[in-house]
Chains A and B, each alone.
Chain A
Amino acid sequence: MLAVFPTFAGAPTLAAGAIPPVLVLAMCVVAGVGTVLVLPGRHERSVRKIGGGALLCVFLIFAALLIRQGAMKGAGQVYFWLFAAIAILSAVRVISHDKPVYSALYFLLTVVATAGLFVLLWAEFMAAALVLIYAGAIVATYVFVIMLAQQTGNAGRATEGGDYDRISREPIAACAVGFTLMGLILFVIFDMVSFVGPTKLAKGGEAQGTAQRLGEHLFTSQVVSLEMAAVILAMAVVGAVVIAGRKVAEPAPAREATGDVRDVDPKQVPVYGTDERRTKAYPEK
């Protein structure tokens, strides 16, 4: 299915298929600007659309470059580009959408696209596990919490998003840093390293990523990690129950703002997480 394509010599210079660093830099800059515009802020909708458009263009150019390099040809490559595009575009929407619920939904889309990429990489079981766990459990939890964490009296808040949702925090600095890092990583990937050849050929050919094979592998060579993962999960369950189960004292009224320190009776200091006022946080003689 996958054709054999020319491998690179691996020299960290501008070899035949490498993307010139200058181009990477330029693309990063444009993409950065686009991202800044696309993030929630006090601009008009049209500006955001322009930003989104810029990002789209950049991705297309990048893809075109890669295709021009002759990296991937053939029908199977369509799926790669499809899933990659969906994943990336959904991710952008996750971070740039005003309303948190929509962010969660777009995240769901990202997960599905990633699962598709997994399938292309012969990891069917992982794809299934991804969809199960993320889409099934984690996203659901997120949506529940979004529903929970609403201010009283504002039923539509979750879909609307608060004031803090509409304005992003230092977008320029964040994008600059983020794109710098991304550019560096891409630079490294494309221009600086040569990968060691496949250490061993896939055993058993096509059926590599099946549940049976993965299970065998896990339980023979990764047993300890597996057990530890199980313990971590158990701990997380216990921890989540404990954390979520605590009762939080209401923030005290303006008494603390105006009163003297001496007005506070030490016996009345509430214990963190309880409504009980009499109990002290430390034992008294």
Chain B
Amino acid sequence: MEQLFAVKYSYLIPLLPLLGAVAAGFLGARWLKDRAHWAIWITVGGSAALSLALLTGMIRHVPAEVRERAHIESSGAIDAGESLSDSAQMAYAFRVSASKHVYTWLEAGKFKAEVGFFLDPLTAVMLCIVTGIGLLIAIYSKGYMAGERGYFRFFAYVGLFIFAMTVLVMADNFLLLYLGWEGVGLCSYLLIGHDYERPAAREAAKKAFLVNRVGDCGFALGIMLMYVTFGTVSYYGNPRNPVEYGVLIQAATNVSLSPWQQSAAQWIPFLLILGAIGKSAQFPLHVWLPDAMEGPTPVSALIHAATMVTAGVYMIVRCGTLFVGNGPATMTVAAVGVFTALFAATIAMRQFDLKRVFAYSTISQLGYMFAAAGVLAPVPAIFHLLTHAFFKALLFLSCGLVMHATMGELDLRKLSGLKRVLPWTNRLMLVGCMALAGVPFVSAGFFSKDQIIAAAWYQNKLFGLALLVAAFLTAYYTFRVYFRVFQGPTVLPHGAETHGQGDQQHGRREPAVMILPLVVLAVGAILAGYLNWPERQASLGRFLGQSPSLCLSHTLASRYGVDVPPVPFGVEEDPDKKVRDAMNVLHTNMMVASGLIAALGIYVAYLFHRKYRARSEELAMRFPSLNRMLERKYWVDEVYQGAIVEPLRRLGRAFNLADRFVIDGIVRAVSLTPQIGGFALKLTTQRGSLQGYAVLMLLGIAAILLIVLW
């Protein structure tokens, strides 16, 4: 594996966007100006190409190993009950991965942190998502941000973000992961506040950063606990040498841990969950994501739909061995995910800002991914991550086109029937909405969501039911938006009718540079579902299952006796035919159920928002308190404001006063002492008369002589 071109030059994948960011940032103001996007197009394009090369290289690598696996299996060397520290088994787990050490970053005593990359199927998939969608959004942004101030700054930050995100997914130790984690948080702040002259954008950026910070705090504590417990922060260390095992392997082979290490290791997942909740906007740290819609729409698409918010899910999947066997931890993850999915879906039903609806939709879908990771189904989680990236980016970018056409007006109640004004956007939005709602067979969302619901149902019927209800709500609110905005009589905000015709700032309404990436995304949204069709040999799940994270987690799970259907781990189908049939029946039932629910949701939305708009409004008015609760997002923001923000502000003001009067007062008093002393001296000794000075001089001499002689 190490001989692959993509692996040897894998350091270019983060480096190129960084160079692009530097070029755009430093040269963009004076020299590149309107051409700043080229720096990002070229470099992110290069990264995407390399990621693709990595992916294909890995895929080609797999069949050889699968054959070898069959050979190993037949030779009976692998047994579920065998200890994982057996070197053959360990080598087997790491067969499709490569470690690349770049340089030693920190060394302090025994603590050592390196800059190194760990490339395995999970990384390759994430890299392709990040760089691919990043490239498409960069292309789109040229059209969207054209003519804005700070054009080059936007692209520089996007490049920086791609750098940080690639570092995050490619890191081979938790410290580097944390670097990328913080980096994407920073870039989120920078990009949300891109139009920093607007107070709303500034506040939203600060809110995003601070709420993220709360989660990051937990994450950092988790990393520290990891170091204290396991003595290293590397993921896998040196898998061939038991002395140098990394964190995840040590957690997996935890028979060799001391009792206190084992009990400490029980707490690490909870701290990591805190970090993931912050980054992936789950309840209760979800409050930043809707406000983050103040940023430009490409930012919402890239960061808050496709990539940054998925870092939490990636981290949980990567640290599978830490979570497996820790019942409370996985239960927490699943519960948080399910609750958030339902919670956000209910809020989205009653939001009127187009982007806000999709923001809550993102939160809800992330809840799905969390739920999947929590019920020990990492492959559906990543699969949903992939499909969600496609259709959510598609939806957000379409919103961007709508925004351009309506001159910034996004209120559902003021728009209608835009399909005549924006034909292409209409079609693309329809594809996206279908994917989000999970329309059977023509959308990727159907497959991925269905697998998650199936896995959840298998583990816990209540979770499965809740996810089904959320799916219904998802379909409803998605098509509520679609039917409101694109169907029905055409109502445009005042002044937007002639916008875009002729020599306006954006020229045409649907420029090619913005439509083409959306078309690519739409194609992906439709076809990506077939990547993980069950029972296919070369499916995504099978590929992901080659990753040591999933491999080790599965072995650990089976050793703990946790009942996990093997497919969600990318492992071979169960050899027992009865089990296989049962699973197939479950899957088929689930597909039918979710298809029906999606259709029901769409129909309800059609009724309320296309056919009988006025009557649905009256119906809604009959439940005013419910409406208000949903519109006010359950008052979560207000609770935070009152319980945390205001007291902190007051405390800050008190400290400010203390600083100004007490501390500065002390400093001023201290500085006043020599002043007063000097003034006193001046009054007494500096009288200006020669003889007085002579007296003082001689006094000094007398004093010195006295001291010396006595």
A–B interface present (Cβ within 8 A): yes
Question: Using a CB–CB distance below 8 Å, which chain A residues touch chain B?
Answer: 169-170, 173-174, 177-178, 180-181, 184, 187-188, 192
Smallest CB gap from B691: residue in A: A169
Indicate if B692 sits at the interface (CB-CB under 8 A).
yes
- In Å, the complex CA distance between A154 and B580 comes to 136
Q: Contacts A180-B702, A181-B702 known; A187 to B709 CB distance under 8 Å?
A: yes
Q: Is the CB of A177 within 8 A of B709?
A: no
Closest chain B residue to A187 by CB distance?
B709
Known: A169-B691, A173-B695, A177-B695. A188 touches B702 (CB 8 A): no
A111–B706 Cα distance when bound, in Å, is 32
Name the B residues within 8 Å of A187 (CB-CB): 709
Q: How far is the CB of B337 from the nearest CB of chain A, in Å? A: 82
Within the complex, the shortest CB–CB distance from A40 to chain B, in Å, comes to 14
Residues facing A in B667-710 (CB within 8 A) are 689, 691-692, 695, 698-699, 701-702, 705-706, 709
A184 touches B699 (CB 8 A): no
Measured in the bound complex, the distance between the Cα atoms of B698 and A170 in whole Å is: 14
Q: State whether B705 touches A181 (Cβ < 8 A).
A: yes
Residue of B with least CB distance to A173: B695
User: Total interface residues on B, using CB and 8 Å?
Assistant: 11
Per the bound structure, the CA–CA distance linking A218 and B491 in Å amounts to: 122
Cα–Cα distance between A192 and B709 once the two chains are bound (Å): 9
8 A Cβ contacts from B156-212 to A: none
Query: A interface, by DSSP: helix, strand, loop or mixed?
Result: helix
Of the A-B pairs whose beta carbons lie under 8 Å apart in the complex, a sample of 28, sorted by A's number, is A169-B689, A169-B691, A169-B692, A170-B691, A170-B692, A170-B695, A173-B695, A173-B699, A174-B691, A174-B695, A177-B695, A177-B698, A177-B699, A177-B702, A178-B698, A180-B702, A180-B706, A181-B698, A181-B701, A181-B702, A181-B705, A184-B702, A184-B705, A184-B706, A184-B709, A187-B709, A188-B709, A192-B709
The A-B contact count (CB < 8 A) is 28
Look across to chain A and name the residue whose beta carbon is closest to the beta carbon of B689: A169
In the complex formed, the residue of A with least CB distance to B697 is: A177
- Chain B residues engaging chain A, CB cutoff 8 angstroms: 689, 691-692, 695, 698-699, 701-702, 705-706, 709
* Complex: A200 Cα to B520 Cα, angstroms: 117
Chain A residues, CB < 8 A from B691 = 169-170, 174
Give the shortest distance, in Å, between B708 (CB) and chain A (any CB): 10
With a CB–CB cut-off of 8 A, which chain A residues contact B702? 177, 180-181, 184
Q: How far is the CB of B189 from chain A (nearest CB, A)?
A: 58
**How far does the alpha carbon of A178 sit from the alpha carbon of B698 in the complex, in Å?**
8
A173 to B702, CA, bound (A): 12
Q: A184 — which chain B residues lie within 8 A by C-beta?
A: 702, 705-706, 709
Which residue on B lies nearest to A191, using beta carbons? Answer: B709
Shortest distance from the beta carbon of B700 to any chain A beta carbon, whole Å: 10
B240: shortest Cβ distance to chain A, in Å?
86
- The smallest beta-carbon distance between A256 and chain B, in angstroms, is 19
| Bound-state Cα–Cα, A115 to B481, Å | 123
Q: Nearest 4 pairs between A and B by C-beta? A: A180-B702, A177-B698, A184-B705, A177-B699
Query: Whose C-beta in chain B lies nearest to the C-beta of A174?
Result: B695
Cβ contacts under 8 Å, B695 to chain A: 170, 173-174, 177
Which residues does chain B contribute within 8 Å of A192, judged by CB atoms? Answer: 709
The interface residues of chain B lying within 8 Å CB-to-CB of A170 are: 691-692, 695
CA distance A181 to B704 in the complex (A): 11
Q: Chain B residue with minimal CB distance to A188?
A: B709
B495 to chain A, nearest CB (A): 63
Cα separation A181 to B695 with both chains bound (whole Å): 12
Minimal Cβ-Cβ distance residue in A for B705 = A184
CA distance A210 to B706 in the complex (A): 41
- The distance from the CB of B686 to the nearest CB of chain A, in whole angstroms, is 15
B141 to chain A, nearest CB (A): 64
Q: Which residues of A are found within 8 Å of B706, using beta-carbon distances?
A: 180, 184
Minimal beta-carbon separation of A175 from chain B (angstroms) = 10
Q: Report the minimal beta-carbon distance from A283 to chain B, rounded to whole angstroms.
A: 33
Nearest neighbor of A180 in chain B, beta-carbon distance = B702
A174 to B702, CA, bound (A): 12
Contacts of A174 in B (CB 8 A): 691, 695
A contact residues around B705 at 8 Å (CB): 181, 184
Give bound CA distance, A173 to B705, whole Å. Answer: 17
With a CB–CB cut-off of 8 A, which chain B residues contact A169? Answer: 689, 691-692
Closest to A181 in B: B702
Residues of B within 8 Å of A180, CB to CB, are 702, 706
For A188, the chain B residues whose CB sits under 8 A away are: 709
CB distance from B78 to the nearest CB of A (A): 101
